[in-house]
Structure formats: structure tokens, C-alpha cells
Structure 1
């Protein structure tokens, strides 16, 4: 999103609005207290929609003392600039204007020019205007200056001619006033506004074409209220009276009757399009699915804390193309590779205690025709206190979170009632904090990917009973994530030697696995960690050892599976199986020791043909009670048709084995001096199955871009602190 900031008087701004067609807009105001010199500061948030981005509104003083502008920040909220012009391009921007006032008496501003986009109810040169009536008097019911309602809307909506539709107004008033709406101009045939709810209705009677909708939003007192001004004068408000006509604000001592505190414009364009074969949501018109929030749902966030809204839609006869959003400045939208939209926004200190509406519409396409879903809106409340409940550490192969126990105790949640996505993973406490540390592929961590980032997400949730698997009273959801950009240096980020993998599980205490390469089959000299990545010639033997260290006596280690891939991701789409279900898959694999807590094995070096010259070895390992015939370790090799061994145990039973853990080591590389033609001959003569290697290489050609982006393009190592790679289970 492009945001520009200017510290210029409003009179010096050159307006580009008249050079572009107008589609709609709105404005609200927020009193921000007194400046050091005693003057008043007021922030105005306005939204406007024109044919293109870059238009600027000139706000002119219509009546009263309007003060002067001291600051302006403008940014793009949503733009259709990449579309074909025949599909109507438009751009919504938000501006935050700060004004300095020497008086808190009522005044009126307005932005106006020519012309509306070509509309059926006004022609091609119809002028537009956005008037706002401001009153900053101190209220007797709140002892605070008056605030206007906060609202937003999608400023350009499409509706098929034959489909009735209701657009639910979203608005909130910081003073808890009654919000009402009325027409600022005669509504076209087929359109209605509910004055009490402000909901906007379309009935299938309008002709196709573009229409402008011009409404006014007003806030009325719920009880008799006095407004007091700095010069000693007063005005009065009484509750809304439907039969009376709104009158101008009075500053005399006589009650003014049912007058609004403020009046705001709410204007947008509606395009009535040809009939659609079905008006049912989910056919041509998109339908929202879980986890999309409900309409008018209230969400909460805190200063400098990123809010995330996840939205999904579908349609059987059209393709979801986009999500149109309207919300506060700096709101962003991304789309995951799975088709889910993620809307994010991080409030600043200026947003403390405020409420912000966010609206969205899903848009789909069938042929050259665009269809829109219903409009949903939510209200986001910015908390007064910054959330400090969790601290997240992102490293290149694991992530960790610590939660301040005092924060969880404030909401009456004991640490024993908190868990991660995967209930088998345990949270631990050091007295002041609850913490967890996990690899990027464990503990229920979910991976998402968009065009620019790979994101690993998990959450800490509360449960009614630690032994339950369901809950109907979810009091706590602490979501955390690590985001790794795809773009950047990708050369040496995963060349470091892997430290021992540490885990914790009841019955086995804290145990670790150490995966190392050795010089020879004697397994006396371990490869120096500083020499990684290791280099081999094709066909050379690679000697590996996995050792388990546990405080529990009488245990044995079992290597359930091993695979090679161009990354240390056990779920890599490109992989070559070495061991599967305890069975040898690679014909060059040899076991030199396979009992107790140490497994020693070796195999001949190879490479993936095509894009990569490095290989990671990833293994799934289990630690069992020795000499117990009921463990997975004792079952050894199992073919794929055999029933899988049970990898779980009841909490009240003594555990006889751990869950499976993934560990990895590498990378190893083909020596740069090797002649590939000679090397291929050497490997073939030594008996390595080159057909398998070739197939794995071909898979890499098809999938390498995805896998490479997933693993090799994480944050540079310089961004991390040297932390141990622990994985608590």
C-alpha cells in the first residue's frame, strides 16, 4: 500500500478530483484533545472513490470557524487498476486530515466538484459534494467532546437486476447515540433506505445501469443532553423524534428539539447488471464460508498488535477472483495459495480506544461477467492497553512462544488448562512464564503460503479440562506465527550444522536425538560441524549415526523412516525414500548397528538431477521401552498393508514409547570438481539404482520451485539470535 504524508496547509493542495469521475465517499471526525497552545485538535477520516488513485479532496469551510489543516496522510485502501477498463476501474483511498481549531463551536466543511461517474439518475456531468456538520461541544452525559459516528461502505457494488438484496449498514458511535439515516437526494426506483437501521434495500424493479446513492448519517441523543462550549454558550439535544424535521444546531439557551449532534455524508454507486440465472448464494453469486466472521461481529485488537481477519468464499458456477475491502488506513489484503483471503491491520497509538468498521465483498467471475457476494462488515475495537500476553521467537527451523503467567491469571486461566493445537504437545512453566518451543512442522503448526511469504501458525487455547478433547467455553485463543519472506538471500541460510533435537514427554522426561555424519564405517571421528555443508562425490559412502539420550534406563531407539529431499521439510513434495515403515528402500543402505539407543547406517551419495546439488536427510524416530513386545520398536519392518501400530497412549497409563519425532541433518553436496558424466558411470557400476534417482530428479524439476521457496528463502541468519533448537512435546 502506498501512503504519502504531507505537512502542508490545505490551501496549497492541488486537487486532482475534478480530473477523475467520482464514485462515492464518506467522512467522520475524532476529537483528539487540546494542543499545548490551548487550541483543539480534530482528526477527520474521509474515504473517496475515483476512477484512479491519486485524487485529493479540497475541504472548504462552509460555515463557522473551521480552523486550519496541520497534517494530511493519504493511502490506497483498494484499487482495481489491474483490470480491463471494460470492467470499470476504480480506486478507494482514505485520508486522515488533522485540523487545529481555536474554537469548539459548530462548523461545516464540504468537498465538492464535478462529476459523478455516468449515472442513470444524474447523467454524465452530475456534480458531487461531501458536506459534514461538526459539533465539538462538551456533552453533559459523557463529559467529553462530541464524537461523530464511524462508518464505512464498499463504494461500488454490483447487483443482478433480478436479485433482491439488502446491504446492512455498519456504524458505531463512541458516544452510544442513536444512528439514523435519511436521503440526501431522491432515491432511484427500486432502492429504499430504512431510516432507523440505515439498511439499504434493492428490489428487482430498477433498469440496468449505474446509480448514485446519496445518504446522510446522523447521531441523536438517547436522553436530554447539554452541549457546553468554551465561550460559555450551550446547546441542547433531546431524543430522536421521528415525526419532526431535523433543524439546524442551536447555540441559544432554548432547547432545539430533535436535532442531530452531527451529520455525515455516505455516498456510493450501485450498478444494476443483467439478470443472473440463479440468485442463490454459492452458485453464481459468491457465498462466504468458515472462517469468515459473521456480519456485524465485534473484533478486538491492541495498539501495535496485528489484527487478522480470515475470509473464504466459493461459487459453483463462477471463479472467486477478488475480495473488495473498505477499512482504515494501512489495512492490507493477501490471498493464500489455498484461496483464502487474509485481511490485516495494525492500529497505531492514535487509534487508542477507537472503533473502526471494516467491510468486504467477495467478487467472482464467469466469462466476462463479475458477480458480488453480500456485503459483510465488522467493527474492530482498539483496546486501551497494549497486549503483552505473548512473546514469539522465530528461528530458521523452529519457533517459540512465552506467555506471561500474570496475564493468563488475570483472565482466570490456569496454565494446566492451556495447550497448543496438538494436545500431545506440552506447555511448560518456569514460575513466571508459560512457554513452548517447537519445530516448524510439529505441534499442530499449520503452514500457509502466499505470493511473497511462507507463514507457520499455531495457537495456545484454553480447555475446560486438560483431559478433554472438546470444549464449549473457549475463553482464550492466543494465535502466534512466524513469517518468512520468499525473496532475499537464499545461498547459505540452511548450511549450518543441526544441534541436537530436544523433546519432553511424560514418562521419558527430557530426551534428545543427535544426528551426525562420520568419516568412516568405524564411526570414531564425527564430521566437524564447522565444515557443513558436507561435500561428497557421487557414489561415495555417507556414514550416519542417530543417538538418543534419555534419563530413563532401558530404552531403545527405532528409526521408523528416512527420506532425502532438497530441504529439511519432512513433508517436502520432492523426496526419495531411504527407509519406510522400518523397511529398507534404498538398495545401497547398510546398517552397522541397530540396537539400543544408537543406530549407525550408511548409503552411497547421490544428487537430485536438475535444479539442486544438495540433499537433506530427514528421519522419523521413536524411543521405546526396551524388550517390550507391544512397542513399535519391537515390530521392526512393516509392509504398507499391515495395520499401523498404535502411537498413542492413555494419559493414565504408563507410557511405553514416545510419539514420532522428525529430525534432520545436512545439507550434503555433490563435490563441485566432480565430472557428472564420469560420476554417473561410477554410481551405475557401483549398483545405485539410477532409475529411482532420475525419477526423484524429475519430481524435483516439477516441484522444486515450490519446495525451494518454502525452505531456502526464510529470513537471513543475521536476523536471528543464536538459540538452541528445542522442540517440546
Structure 2
């Protein structure tokens, strides 16, 4: 069985200059098809994926033709960039073998996805054709004036050739197609805005290879729609790069039934997010930033009984406020297994936490039974003249415990091991074993679980940030002789003092929450010399210093965070800066516990032992860095991470500036008030 990368594309490209996408607009869509049965049924199963800008639409809004099924009813994956953020919806539908689906949200233009399948038996293989699969990447971002490659990955299980034809070219000098490397090449000459690209993919028999202008009829067709955002950029700096531990583009991972897949993705720099699009049920860990400023996430997926396609794509890209890495896609191939012979028994004993297997040997005659073993080779596997048997504890013999939706899953594998290291023609056996126990709910009058929302837990709170010189402001007593989280000193650049600019400034982050044990948590903070945050520098990443120019000042209050900024070491050389931070509140469910410290990586992800608010974004106005300059005061609104940051109006600036004479010293104050949103319901709430 082969899987080949797209050598030539079938493209129908339409470019439309659009304004910034409105809420609920389509930012990408794809359709893949599979045969329902190994016969000439006139219908196929279509797998749809769609990326929408926030707010996330419901399946009913997307499927206006009816009969759409969400296979897992899982929560949609979301991303932040480009603003105002996006989410992914996936569903399935039975459609005719030749079909066009029209997708539309609100008043935006409709997106048509065309698919076609040839259900006749192929003369070259005597089998039905398997259509190619096309991946859907995260929203694509490029910079005006900066050339960039935009790959779209396609795989074909039959090993067929992939060809391209243009329904409409219309590309001009904006973008051209490299048919050999299967890459759209953006030349950098487009205006700011968004451009729609429709790609049609077709497969042909391998006998037409290198015959570019062949009139051969394709077996099948699938399509993908992309919305490419062209953003402003002052220079074509290097984009974030994935490190060696990240999977290579086009990699294939074969997944057995009930097998768990782990994928680590690491970027060589601090980024705002690692955007991922994958199959339903894909778990994405919170992004972590190490001491070397590398950003990383872990993806995990468990293959359970599912109606998904045999090939599933996972595409990812690293985003900063102004840059996007090259997009990579990998493939999860759900390996097909033969049915077990009659007489096979697998018993799962929940009370005894035990699994037992009885396997007839009538179909295993060519195997060496003495070479059979479980995950733990020390656990015995028995055999006689009629059966292979094994009985083992669900907590031993290398058995893994996983969660599959609401079920608890115990898995092991019986396999034959070749004792010789040389290549052998001896048959091998790989038999996944799994026991599934459904989730149970506590019933009866003695149990009542109350899950509070955000307002009930934390009250009506507000956040704000302030800038003060060390030893000044409301916490002057704690910043005058500061206790630092790190004992390593940071020295400011002398040229700042010589040029009349400040060399140190304290960033204060406040919350008025009065809840006992509530802790203020500050995530990433970035700085920019311009209010549009096109080019940014990291100040904090997950509450940790992003470089050698930021140190945390320890305070006596859990709802106040102070960070000392050494402006010279941070490379801030201008007269003005703008700052943006992500903030949230945390409270533990047990008095003996503390909220996780993202900086030290001590969070325990196995037990839900704390309640968190949403992430909220606070963005300042201009912070003057010249000594002796009278600061002005600006009011800004805090917004959820997924939403836009509200900038101050002119009337707010004027009103605040008129009252600035009430302050003392050279400091900057930004007051942020926020209407707290409802907290999403937690699956588990642990009490003392």
C-alpha cells in the first residue's frame, strides 16, 4: 500500500480582494470522500472540515442541506490569529458520487466544494478506486512584500498520479503554481486584505506519469478552499522554525485500533500560538515555553470505533503577532485489520480489573507461538494444540489506561516477536486488545454536585495594569527593596541614561478579586513600539521572563503581579512603547493546594484541582519612556483572548489626560475594567 505526496495539482483558483473577515465568515473548507461499500452504490460518504472566524457557528448553520452528522459531538478546536480568532467544525454526510456542496455563513459569499468518485472497477488493479485526501491547514497568513511558500498536502492510498488543470487562472503576479513541488508561491506583491483560493485535486493512473497534457480522464476529484490573509510588515524577517523533534511534513503514522498517538511539536522561538487542525477527538496540550525560549505543545489522539476516513490529516503552524511559520501536515492512517476468527473470546472483568483472551490457533499455523508476548514480556502467554490464552490484570502487564470520550479504556497488545534481528519472511501477528468501561454518574439524594460559573466563583472583578518607577506607586514599599524571583542580576544599558530615557520600569498587574485563595496569573506579555503591534518583543511567556531583561518582583498579595523591565537589556530603544498582557484568575478546590505555576512547569494535568477564568487581553496606550515627561492616562477595555482588544476612544483619552495632574512622578497608569464572562462548565469539580 502506497501513499504518495502530491506531484501535480488540480487547481481552480479564484482570487477576490476582500475586507477583513467578519464574524462567522468562512476562512477555509475541504471535502474528502470515501466509498460506502465495496460495490457500485451511487453514493459516497463525504467528510467536511470548515474553519470559521469567531463566533463559532453551529452545525445547523453550516449544513443547510440536512442529514449532517457530527461523529463525536466534540468541542471545536479554536485559534487566535488572525483576529478575531477562528474555530474548526467537522461533519459527515452521505452524498451522490458527483456532488457540489454550497457552504455559506451570514451574508458572506458562498463557498462551493465539488467532489466526484468513479465507482467502476479499475482495469489496472481490478479494484475500486480510492479518491485522494486533501488536508485543511490553519488560516494562512502572509506579509505584504515578503515572498512565501504555501503548501497544501494531498495523499493517495492507491499511489496514483495527481494532476492539475486550471478552471480559472486569474493569478497575475500575486501567486503562481509550482506544479512539481505542489506549492503555491506567493510573490509578495498583493495589497493588504484577504484572497480566496479554490483548489481542485484529481487522481490519474500511474501510467500517465510525466504526461502533463494528457487527456486521460481522472478517477475522482476533491477540493479545498483557502482564505489567505495578507498582512502589513515592515521587514521580511525570518519566520519561526520547527525543531528536529517535530514531525516532518508528509510523515505518516500508522494507528492500530485503540492505539494512542503522541506527537510533540516544538518551535525554535517564543510564539503567540501553535495553531493545529486535526481529526475530532484530537487533544492539544497548553503551549509551554522553556528557558531557551522554545515553544512546544503535545498532541494526543486515541483511535476508537469511529466512522472517520482512513487517512486523517493533522496540520500545524506557529503564529506570532506579525509572522507565521511554514505550514506542516502529517497523516494518521487508520490501519485496517482482519476480522478475528470464530471462537475468539475477550472477556473484560470490571470488578476484578482483569482481561482474559482465548484465541484459536487454526488461523495462526505459520506463527511461532513461543514468541508471543504482551506489552510487558515478563507476563506469560500460554498455548496448547488448539488455543492461545492469556489472562492478566488491567493494572499490570504493560496495560495502558486511556480516556476515550466518556469511557475508560484499558489497552494491551498481543504480538509475535522475531527473536532474530535479521529480516525474516516469518508471518507476524499484531492483535490490539481493549476493554471499554462506560462512564458512571453518582445517583441518589446523598450526592449533589454544583458547578459554579465564573461570576459565582470570583465575583464581579476587574483587571488593570500600571507602570511605575521602582520605589513609586501603591506598592512602593515592596519595589523599593525588591525581592526577585530570580537572584541573577540584570544590568541596564548605560546609553539609555545618557540619552535621557528610563532604564528601569515596573509593570504592575492588578485584580480587585476579594475571593480567599484567588491568585492572579499573568501569561504572555508583549511590547511594541507601535499601537498596531505589527512588530513585537516578548516580555513574559507563560508568566516567565522571556529573556534576560525581565524579573518578577515578589509581593505579599496573590492578586498583584509586578515585573521589573530593564529597558536596555530588552532592546527597547524608542521613546514610546505599547504593552499587551494575557491575565486570568485561579482558585484551588482544596485549601492544601496551590494553583499551577506555568513558569516552573509544576502543573498536574491528571486531576482537575483548580478553577480558572477565561484568558483576557489587556492592551495599554502609549507609555512614554523619557524621564521628566508628564504621562497621560488612557482607559482600555479587557477582552477575552479570542475577541478583539478595544482601543480607547478620543473622548476617553481627552478625559483622562485632563486629570493627569493628580498624579506624582514619572509613571504611567492604565486602568482596565471588564465585564466578566460566564465560565464554561467543568467536567469535574473536586471538593474537600
TM range, normalised to the smaller chain?
0.3 to 0.5
| Bigger strand fraction | 1
Higher Cα Rg, which structure: 1
TM-score, normalised via structure 1 length: 0.45
TM-score, normalised via structure 2 length: 0.47
More relative contact order in 1 or in 2 (CA 8 Å, sep 6+)? 2
